[in-house]
Amino acid sequence: MSESRWTNLREILRYVPRFRDRVFVIALDGAVIEEDNFANLLMDVALLRSLRIGVVLVHGAGQQIRRLAAATGVTPSDIDGTGVTDAPTLQLALNAANRVTHEILEGLAVHDLRGACSNAVIAHPAGILQGIDYQHTGRVERIDAGLLQAFLNAEVVPVIPPLGTDGEGNTYRLNSDRVAVEVARVLQAVKLIYIAIAPGLLLGDRLLRHLSVEEAENILKRQRDQVRPAEAVSKLEQAIRAAQGGVPRVHIIDGRVEEGLLAEVFSNQGIGTLIHANEYKSIRKAQRKDVRALHALIQQGVENDELLRRSRAELERMIEDFFVFEVDRTPVGCAAVHVFPGTDVGELACVCVDSRYENQGIGAKLIQYGEMLARQRGVRRLLCLSTQAFNYFVNKAGFSPGTPEDLPPARRDRYERSGRRSRVLLKTLC
Ligand SMILES: CC(C)(COP(=O)(O)OP(=O)(O)OC[C@H]1O[C@@H](n2cnc3c(N)ncnc32)[C@H](O)[C@@H]1OP(=O)(O)O)[C@@H](O)C(=O)NCCC(=O)NCCS
């Protein structure tokens, strides 16, 4: 193993718990598969698998279609699955894509990884758009998440070509960048990684390293013509869709860089462009209609004695104090800030994240948001009580250990009566 940025073992280990048993969707441009570095990329995939990170490979076939077209003398009506696909071009796409899928499966086998291609992408025709019949070009109708999940559970790497089928024996040509977004969304992937033959996303000759979704949208609106390479515009559009659809991080990296994938995933520097969702945008004040979802959300924490039991009626009474973190319009995290009347003391309570969404920084975002609300409501001393997450509040959110004496009298009474003996934590808000 060569000495390089990502080989810092400590750095890798810091990230591993966050990604374990989560899914990365890796979208490979067809051209990447023909690079010498492709074998190394598969080795990196093997390493991700050995860390118990689920990997799904989605691939394109543009370069192979172009070559096959030249060899057979067919003029393709479209290369990347976004234009009109006529019948000869569909044949080219089928042949080229199947060949690429097979090469990937071969490569996986070299690394003792099991792979499988399936009919998990259900498509329907793109149809007639502005008077143009797109013929065999399709749109993703649905991804069979259960099928892909069954592969992942069986430690099989799903390999997904840019093709979809309907229930009537038809095949449609799809754009792989778009397929990757749909797959990442349904599998609630923590990362979507586009691997192309370019250093990432350039604005003129400047490599863009980090972009929020809003910044990415602004670039598309105002500086679209300066995005390089030109094909990256489509990736940027898809990255925004993915981030808006709940994929927290989308990367665009260069498939020619040795160890580039690992550097991107396991180091702070990264090598390409990262587009990240604005998580605050996902937080909103809770409303009465959320009571049922909130009650269900905190149930697990109550059962583990991490959270105080709250009836629906209580939640409804205190709903003004609650805020929720949403993914796809469903609350997956919540917290509340209660202010003790007539004091500058508040309590951050009921911080809770659905276990399927843990370790994505949602808890940290909720706490930051809660602190902001508390400040706005005049709180200078923020309390928090926890039975099992006190280290979290100390290490990740800057709280300090306190004692029951720090509680205002009425709260202290309730504390004593509950018998839960939670640890008291404190934070001074400036
Ligand atoms: C505690 C909780 C809110 C954390 O939410 P989260 O969104 O997973 O947390 P984040 O993504 O912001 O942070 C994850 C990090 O915190 C660490 N962490 C999570 N729970 C922890 C705990 N109970 N003790 C110590 N560290 C913890 C993780 O190991 C991870 O560490 P890393 O960044 O070094 O990999 C969540 O686990 C939860 O809902 N727990 C049950 C309810 C609870 O106890 N609430 C507190 C009482 S108010």
Q: What is the DSSP string of 105-166?
A: HHHHHHTT-EEE--S-EEEEE--EETTEE-BTBEEEEEE-HHHHHHHHHTTEEEEE-SEEE-
Q: Which atom of ligand 1 is nearest to the CA of 15?
A: 35
Q: Are 28 and 195 in contact (CB under 8 A)?
A: yes
Q: What is the pLDDT of residue 281?
A: 62
pTM (2 decimals)? 0.63
Specify the 3-state DSSP secondary structure of 349. strand
Specify the 3-state DSSP secondary structure of 413. helix
Those residues whose C-beta lies under 8 Å from the C-beta of residue 144, and which sit 6 or more positions away, are 118, 119, 120, 121, 122
Q: Which atom of ligand 1 is nearest to the CA of 304?
A: 41
- The residues pairing with 349 across neighbouring beta strands, listed in sequence order, are 336
- The residues pairing with 196 across neighbouring beta strands, listed in sequence order, are 254
pLDDT by position in tens, the chain (length 430): 344 554 467 667 767 887 899 999 999 999 999 999 999 999 999 999 999 999 999 999 999 999 999 999 999 999 999 999 999 999 999 999 999 999 999 999 999 999 999 999 999 999 999 999 999 999 999 999 999 999 999 999 999 999 999 999 999 999 999 999 999 999 999 999 999 999 999 999 999 987 888 889 999 999 999 999 988 899 999 999 999 888 999 999 999 999 889 888 887 567 899 898 865 568 999 999 999 999 999 998 999 888 989 999 999 999 999 999 988 678 999 999 999 999 999 999 999 999 888 888 899 989 988 998 898 899 999 999 999 999 999 988 889 999 999 999 999 999 999 998 999 999 998 6
Those residues whose C-beta lies under 8 Å from the C-beta of residue 275, and which sit 6 or more positions away, are 211, 212, 213, 216, 236, 239, 240, 243, 249, 250, 251, 252
Separation between Cα atoms, residue 61 and residue 68, nearest integer Å: 10
Q: Taking the CA of residue 3 as centre, how many other CA atoms within 13 Å lie in the half-sphere pointing to its CB?
A: 0
Among 299, 396, 423, name the best residue to mutate to test ligand 1's pocket (greatest count of ligand atoms within 8 A of Cβ): 396
Write out residues with Cβ below 6 Å of ligand 1: 17-18, 301, 306-307, 349-353, 358-364, 386, 388-389, 391-392, 396
Q: What is the pLDDT of residue 322?
A: 97
Q: Are 142 and 123 in contact (CB under 8 A)?
A: no
Among 265, 280, 392, name the best residue to mutate to test ligand 1's pocket (greatest count of ligand atoms within 8 A of Cβ): 392
Q: What is the pLDDT of residue 304?
A: 87
Separation between Cα atoms, residue 346 and residue 341, nearest integer Å: 9
Residue nearest to atom 18 of ligand 1 (CA): 392
Indicate the helix (H) or strand (E) that contains 55: strand 54-59
Residue nearest to atom 5 of ligand 1 (CA): 363
**What tokens appear for 161 in the block?**
């070509």
